[in-house]
Chains A and B, each alone.
Chain A
Amino acid sequence: MPAVTETIETIDRLAGGGYKFGFETNIEMEFAPKGLNEDIVRLISAKKGEPEWLLEWRLKAYRAWLTMEDPHWARIHHPKIDYQDLHYYAAPKRPAPKSLDDVDPELISMYDKLGIPLNERAALAGVAVDAVFDSVSVATTFRESLAKVGVIFCSISEAVREHPDLVRKYLGSVVPAGDNYFAALNSAVFSDGSFVFIPRGVRCPMELSTYFRINARNTGQFERTLIIAEEGASVSYLEGCTAPMRDENQLHAAVVELVALDEASIKYSTVQNWYPGDAQGRGGIYNFVTKRGACRGRNSKISWTQVETGSAITWKYPSCILQGEGSTGEFYSVALTNNFQQADTGTKMIHLAPNTTSTIISKGISAGHSNNTYRGLVRIMPRAHGARNFTQCDSLLIGDQCGAHTVPYIESRNQSAKVEHEATTSKIAEDQLFYCRSRGLSEEDAVGLIVNGFCRDVLKELPMEFAVEAQKLLAVSLEGSVG
């Protein structure tokens, strides 16, 4: 049997392999009533004891949202979302725990199943985890050792209480409240998220990590993350997600804002493995995320790395605004879609200042009936003398029912800028498969190896702690998709 036919059959056979992290933890939730109006926004703000300015900011975002329309330009299709049929606030019923001992044991056991290094293992792994369970942070570790060097790593609601000036200065400064439909929605109703502040000259002593779980049925998740690296500071931040199996689609509209001042560097890595829906395309997470970083200072650097294997729909364009002279933006992405998943993802690199550089490496893998689109913008503004961009987008098609699309927008208004873009689309070459098979590798291992090689440029950008997990997650998706 030809290798390809066999590969496709393997995919079909394994497509029913299912989602390994599909379980649900039963913890009583306290819900706000369904629907969205100004009262809900006020309720969320009041529950969190927010200052007046933040409530005003939320209301302004809400009013802007009312005047906006769903974006329809992406290559994604879904039934119309009834925003009035969602809960906008959900939290575990008990008061926020003060230490790990207070954390619900069921929660802890769930994290155990996911392999999150939360308690002792956290220390061994050297990772500080701000675990977000639905909307309220339930545990934060390593706070003290971070505090020693002046790093602030806490939930954003805590930051609003304890560092209001910082939050007020930077919140919405990269992604304004009315930036786009989903960002406006997030600004109005964001429940929690992470706040990171690295003071001048500090190199964050450990990788910071947040684990997201979506756990409550019918609960939209509206995370808000804000990371600020002052002059000469550097930080590596990890975000990983997995969600329990369920039938109903869930909306996730997160906003992530990064600010890098002079000589600062922020590395933001994501492994996204939310429930993608079943083999027939039922259920799964709608992931509509706005991620943007501002390289405000000279020679600052923001690097996005993402491994996207989950979600029924991904709508996500982590971007860099290169405002500081000599600043650098990077985007490394692997997006894998299978069954009926849809991904429309890419980046925007806006070169405003001289000698700014950006690199985009995007690897898309489509299998099953999925559609995978790279959509990216590279814009060189007139002031960006000597700007440089390199873009490479490669797509791999597995099976003849899927689609791979590339939609780059390249705009240059500066003569001295150099922009290069290349894109390829292909399938796994039969001679590569044959070569591996003739060395005794099984079909599955051979496809896995080739796909891993295809993604290598991106995977090697992940921090050590994450690379292992990313490969594991990719392998899980590969099991169900490419052999």
Chain B
Amino acid sequence: MNAGDFLDRIDLAALPGAVSRRARAAARFRATGWPTRADEAWHYTDLNARLKSFDLALPAEAGSVAGLIPETDLPRIVFVNGRFAEDLSTKMPGLGCYASDAALTEGRDQPMVALNAALAQDGAVLDIAESVDAGTVLLVSIAHAAHQAAIAPRHRIRLGAGAALTLIEIARGEGEYLHNPVVEIALGEGAVLRHYRLQDEAMAAVHVATIFADLASGARYDSFTLNCGARLSRNETHATLAGAKADVHLNAAQLLTGSQHGDITTIVAHDAPNCASRQTVKSVLSGAARGVFQGRIEVARIAQKTDGYQMNQALLLSPDAEIDSKPELEIFADDVKCSHGATIGALDPEQVFYLRSRGIPEAEARAMLIRAFLDEALEPVTDATAHRLFEDAIDAWWRKGVL
């Protein structure tokens, strides 16, 4: 369905919060419509083609979703169909409040962010005070759609100076839907956020997540995203290093099969001197899956002594798989060290042969090599729960018989 028709069917005034703000966002989204391939930022992902067959509407009440929430001991915040599910969440006094208005920031102009602003009903607001280590929190967003629903939570995470948080974000669902979360992150001086994200949506779903992370000086944003669900997914991360000596790690892996399309897009803006950014992105593609990686490192004139590095590797496991990669450097400062690398290929037959000659069966040998390939991106994930969740998701992918 086209963008205008979809918005026409929604009574924005019936949604909570200020109508004028929603209306402005809706107007911005109407002006652009669904992103198409003519839009350079969406060169390899045709969202329009996928969504025009969707008969989108706002989500109705969900059924039971308990089975979709992973078992952990961690405090958790659960959203179902874009609304806060109090009964499923842990009581965390002082840690968060939920309000639609508070989570809406204007001025981000990407079409899917504007759509989120027009539709968002709820979001987690995590405000961690100065110097507090808030431990690990699970943020689960569940889509349970009987019809083709558009679900758009908008979260905001703020860490005061010296604060620390580990956030494990999980997107899951059942049915056919568009899940369009936006996460806005602001890190104070010296704050550390570890952000581990698992995109494990239903196989018919469309998932478009946009993350904005703004770092003050000395702050650190460590993120790892595992993309394995959804028919079409896109994870777009904008990291802005606004203070000196900030540090960002944007690692990601995608495991795709069948006719899945996965897009990992990163924009790292070095706006201050002496910052470092590291990215390791791995794609494992089987069936007729198509992987996309677009990563841009922007170094502003002021950002001297920048150290930027980006590695993007893809393994093609089948004749019909495809990878499109666009690692970009945009550099305006001279005293910098920036590099990127990209490699694309199949599993090395010699390595498979080596393992087989040691008595390891073919499938196991291939699995072993793929795990080793993924490890480089997964390695910095130090949180045990997150690590286990990712391992489980990878194992589940295996069981689909992709090898």
List residues of chain A with CB under 8 Å of any chain B CB.
Answer: 4, 73, 380, 382, 395, 397-427
Contact = CB atoms under 8 A, between A and B. Distances in A.
A400 B336 contact: no
23 contacts: A400-B335, A402-B334, A403-B332, A405-B328, A405-B329, A408-B327, A410-B326, A410-B327, A410-B342, A412-B322, A412-B323, A412-B324, A415-B318, A415-B346, A416-B346, A418-B344, A420-B341, A420-B344, A421-B325, A421-B327, A422-B339, A424-B338, A425-B338
A73 to B, nearest CB: 7
A388 to B, nearest CB: 10
A412 B40 contact: no
B317 interface: yes
A418 B315 CA distance: 10
B53 interface: no
Contact of B331 (A395, A415, A417): A395
A53 B32 CA distance: 44
Contact of A423 (B304, B322, B327): B327
B383 interface: no
Contacts of A4: 335
A336 to B, nearest CB: 15
A425 B344 CA distance: 22
A417 B323 CA distance: 11
A412 B338 contact: no
B195 to A, nearest CB: 27
B328 A406 contact: yes
Nearest to A420: B343
A399 B332 CA distance: 10
A425 B323 contact: no
B44 to A, nearest CB: 8
Given A408-B326, A414-B316, 5 more contacts: A408-B327, A411-B322, A415-B346, A422-B340, A423-B329
B344 A419 contact: yes
Nearest to B311: A422
A406 B334 contact: no
A395 to B, nearest CB: 7
B339 A424 contact: yes
Contacts of A398: 334
What are the 5 closest A-B residue pairs judged by CB atoms, nearest first? A397-B334, A419-B344, A421-B342, A406-B329, A415-B316
B340 A404 contact: no
Contacts of B301: 400-401
A9 B187 CA distance: 40
B187 to A, nearest CB: 26
Contacts of A420: 341-344
Contacts of B402: none
Interface in B338-394: 338-346
Nearest to A430: B335
A144 to B, nearest CB: 51
Contact of A397 (B327, B331, B342): B331
Contacts of B333: 397, 400
Given A400-B333, A403-B330, A403-B332, A418 B338 contact: no
A380 B325 CA distance: 12
A423 B339 contact: yes
B50 interface: no
Given A405-B328, A410-B324, A423 B340 contact: yes
Most buried by A among B314, B325, B346: B325
Contacts of B329: 395, 404-406, 423, 425
B305 to A, nearest CB: 11
Nearest to B327: A408
Contact of A426 (B40, B320, B325, B337): B337
Contacts of B335: 4, 400, 427
A427 B324 contact: no
Nearest to A425: B338
B343 A421 contact: yes
B327 A419 contact: no
B319 A382 contact: yes
B275 interface: no
Nearest to B292: A411
A400 B40 contact: no
B340 A406 contact: yes
B331 A425 contact: yes
A410 B344 contact: yes
Contacts of B344: 380, 410, 412, 417-420
Nearest to B296: A407
B185 interface: no
A483 to B, nearest CB: 14
Contact of B334 (A382, A400, A412): A400
B321 interface: yes
B336 A425 contact: yes
A415 B315 CA distance: 8
Nearest to B328: A407
Nearest to B298: A405
Most buried by B among A4, A405, A418, A425: A425
A227 B40 CA distance: 34
A400 B323 CA distance: 36
Nearest to B344: A419
A380 B322 CA distance: 9
Contacts of B336: 397, 425-427
A397 B329 CA distance: 13
A404 B342 CA distance: 19
Nearest to B317: A415
Interface in B282-320: 301, 304, 314, 316-320
Given A419-B343, A422-B339, A411 B323 contact: yes
Contacts of A400: 301, 304, 333-335
A352 to B, nearest CB: 15
A73 B339 CA distance: 23
Nearest to A73: B40
Contacts of A427: 334-336
A420 B321 CA distance: 17
Contacts of B338: 424-426
A405 B331 contact: yes
Nearest to B314: A412
B136 to A, nearest CB: 37
A398 B335 CA distance: 9
B328 A410 contact: no
B304 A409 contact: no
Nearest to B44: A411
Nearest to A371: B332
A414 to B, nearest CB: 7
A16 B326 CA distance: 38
A410 B329 CA distance: 14
Contacts of B316: 412, 414-415
A403 B330 CA distance: 7
A407 B343 contact: no
B217 to A, nearest CB: 21
Contacts of A406: 327-329, 340
A419 B324 contact: no
A407 B339 CA distance: 12
A401 to B, nearest CB: 8
A424 B316 CA distance: 26
B137 to A, nearest CB: 37
Contacts of A407: 326, 328
Contacts of B321: 413, 415
A86 B71 CA distance: 73
Contact of A399 (B314, B330, B334): B334
A213 B391 CA distance: 65
A395 B299 CA distance: 14
B359 to A, nearest CB: 26
A409 B328 CA distance: 9
Contacts of B40: 73
Nearest to B306: A425
A168 B344 CA distance: 40
A382 B43 CA distance: 20
Contacts of B345: 417-419
A419 B342 contact: yes
A418 B345 CA distance: 5
Nearest to A411: B324
